[in-house]
Structure 1
Amino acid sequence: MKDTTVENQLRYLYTLQQIDTQLKEVNELKGDLPAIVEELETKVENYKSEVKILNATLKQLKIDRDKADVEILSLAEKIDRYKNQQLNVKSNKQYDALTREIEAAEKKSLQIEKDMESYEGKMETTKRDLEAINEQLQKAINELSERKEELRSVNKEHEKEELKLKHEREKILVRLDKNYIERYERIRKAKGGLAVVPIKRDACGGCFSRVPPQKILEIRQNSKLYSCEHCGRILVSNHIVGTSPEV
């Protein structure tokens, strides 16, 4: 059940900030590992996609090469048949017609042989590319495995603390007004994780800009949510800090 008095809402906001600050510290202990793991996962998927494309290309080149090989054999048989027919023709017209067929078949065969050489050249290039990508893929998989193990180790070390803080955070969120939560999250995102700060020595605890005396008096009333005029962070009184539950 929500306690909607402004004073208690301010306490919840300040407590939420303390929880989020501790969660941030826990995450900072992980260093760049989460980002590194995510980057490596993306790299592995990209390499796998490249391997898939290259394998498909190689398969099609083999099909095209084999088809060309069959066509060359078929044309060779056709040329032999035409030459045998020339031995039995009874007119120059028939002989010339067969000669033209032979020349056309030989020309086509030469073109297909060139195509076949091209297919084989592309196959060799694709095989080399595939070998290089597979090598890079394996390296990325090995590195990803190592980094994941490092991250698991770090997560395990701080797992209980992190779960406790997240549980406390959920308990606070159900007590907070939705509008306050949205405002808090918006400021926290814009200000490097620090949205709620106390007044210290008459200054904002976030940007250290001076807070006017009249505003300090108003903030001490704990009856309204006030923001720093310079950085926009939510300001709370020392009373709120002192009476908020420790995390």
Structure 2
Amino acid sequence: MAKKKEVSVEERLRALYDLQLIDSRIDEIRNVRGELPLEVRDLEDEVAGLNIRLEKLVNDLQTIDNDISSRKNLIEESKALIKKYGEQQKNVRNNREFNSLSKEVEFQELEIQLAEKHIKEFKAQIEQKKEVIAATKEQLKERETHLKHKKGELDAILAETEKEEQALIAKSEDYKKQIEDRLVAAYDRIRKNVKNGLAVVPIERGASGGSFFTIPPQVQVEIASRKKVITDEHSGRILVDAALAEEQKAKMEKLFAKL
């Protein structure tokens, strides 16, 4: 693998600050999207869940319809048996046979009553299921409308920013290749551990950017000399002087305008 060419500390600091500006721009783009991708995913899951629920409810209705048909068939069978036993009672030879057939008739009459009771319960279940289906359809319609709206928002933001984001990611990788691996690793580690992902900050009014801790004058002089990489003892961020920061911001703004 080819060795990275030897560069001065100032060049490293400029490259690091350029990298920070690029990564901060990527962060801004992603912040604009915010929670939208997660919202869209959650809504898609909710819509899928409601569709599965609807499918189950419709299947339940079909099962109940089948149960009603089964009970109606049972009633017809019981009626046929009652008629059959009634005919047989006309030809019995003794009371024992007559009583035995009477018990069979009573049993079938109870079967009919039980089947009719079940049919009534099933019909009540159907009405209840239909109410739940109507409410679920209404909820599904509302969620689908909301999902369409959120997807439209996300698609609009993606259409506006995706090309720039991909170009910036490629630039970020290019700039990392210009910086020694040790510094890139330190930069990535600091970015993960500090607020707003700012690993390289300029001195502003005698303090490190985004901090209230004052930098001693002697340290400010060292930073302005650009002879070594200096970190803020409080936040761990890499520090650059304000003049360098302004120069690099102007340069990177031109680059961003072309993307």
With over 3 angstroms needed to count, the CA separation of the structure-2 counterparts of 1:202 and 1:106, relative to structure 1, is same
With over 3 angstroms needed to count, the CA separation of the structure-2 counterparts of 1:106 and 1:206, relative to structure 1, is same
The whole-number CA distance in structure 2 between the counterparts of 1:95 and 1:156 is 87
Q: Which residue number in structure 1 is paired with residue 97 of structure 2?
A: 94
Tell me if 1:50 matches 2:53: yes
The whole-number CA distance in structure 1 between the counterparts of 2:85 and 2:222 is 108
Q: Contact conserved, 2:13 with 2:240, CA < 8 A, in 1?
A: no
Q: Deviations over 1:175-198 (max 9, x none)?
A: 56373365144225xx23333322
TM-score by length of 2: 0.75
The whole-number CA distance in structure 2 between the counterparts of 1:212 and 1:112 is 92
The whole-number CA distance in structure 2 between the counterparts of 1:111 and 1:12 is 85
Tell me if 1:236 matches 2:239: yes
With over 3 angstroms needed to count, the CA separation of the structure-2 counterparts of 1:16 and 1:95, relative to structure 1, is farther
Q: Contact conserved, 2:26 with 2:168, CA < 8 A, in 1?
A: yes
Letter paired with 2:208: C
The whole-number CA distance in structure 2 between the counterparts of 1:54 and 1:42 is 18
Partner of residue 205 from structure 1, selected from 195, 205, 209: 209
Q: Which residue number in structure 1 is paired with residue 141 of structure 2?
A: 138
Q: Deviations over 1:145-167 (max 9, x none)?
A: 23323332333233432232122
Q: Give the match's secondary structure for 2:197.
A: coil
Q: 1:122, CA displacement in angstroms?
A: 0.9
Partner of residue 150 from structure 2, selected from 147, 161, 183: 147
Unaligned runs of 5+ in 2: none
The whole-number CA distance in structure 2 between the counterparts of 1:127 and 1:97 is 45
For CA contacts below 8 A with separation 6 or more, give which structure has more relative contact order. 1
The whole-number CA distance in structure 2 between the counterparts of 1:15 and 1:235 is 13
Q: Deviations over 1:125-150 (max 9, x none)?
A: 11221122122222322332233233
Q: Which residue number in structure 1 is paired with residue 228 of structure 2?
A: 222
The whole-number CA distance in structure 1 between the counterparts of 2:169 and 2:148 is 27
Letter paired with 1:23: I
Q: Contact conserved, 1:17 with 1:196, CA < 8 A, in 2?
A: yes
Tell me if 1:40 matches 2:34: no
Q: Deviations over 1:219-246 (max 9, x none)?
A: 654346x3542xx352222286468663
Q: Give the match's secondary structure for 2:203.
A: strand
Q: Give the match's secondary structure for 1:192.
A: helix
With over 3 angstroms needed to count, the CA separation of the structure-2 counterparts of 1:216 and 1:108, relative to structure 1, is farther
Q: 1:28, CA displacement in angstroms?
A: 4.2
Q: Give the match's secondary structure for 2:169.
A: helix
Partner of residue 171 from structure 2, selected from 159, 168, 173: 168
Q: Which residue number in structure 2 is paired with residue 62 of structure 1?
A: 65
Q: Contact conserved, 1:68 with 1:113, CA < 8 A, in 2?
A: yes
Q: 1:212, CA displacement in angstroms?
A: 4.4
CA RMSD, 1 decimal: 3.3
Q: Which residue number in structure 2 is paired with residue 157 of structure 1?
A: 160
Q: Which residue number in structure 1 is paired with residue 198 of structure 2?
A: 194
Q: Contact conserved, 2:85 with 2:101, CA < 8 A, in 1?
A: yes
The whole-number CA distance in structure 1 between the counterparts of 2:102 and 2:121 is 29
Q: What percentage of aligned pairs have identical amino acids?
A: 30
The whole-number CA distance in structure 1 between the counterparts of 2:144 and 2:177 is 42
The whole-number CA distance in structure 2 between the counterparts of 1:170 and 1:96 is 97
Letter paired with 1:222: K
Unaligned runs of 5+ in 1: none
The whole-number CA distance in structure 1 between the counterparts of 2:156 and 2:208 is 39
The whole-number CA distance in structure 2 between the counterparts of 1:12 and 1:75 is 92
Q: Give the match's secondary structure for 2:91.
A: coil
Q: 1:69, CA displacement in angstroms?
A: 1.9
With over 3 angstroms needed to count, the CA separation of the structure-2 counterparts of 1:100 and 1:23, relative to structure 1, is same
Q: Contact conserved, 1:204 with 1:211, CA < 8 A, in 2?
A: yes
How many pairs does the alignment contain?
242
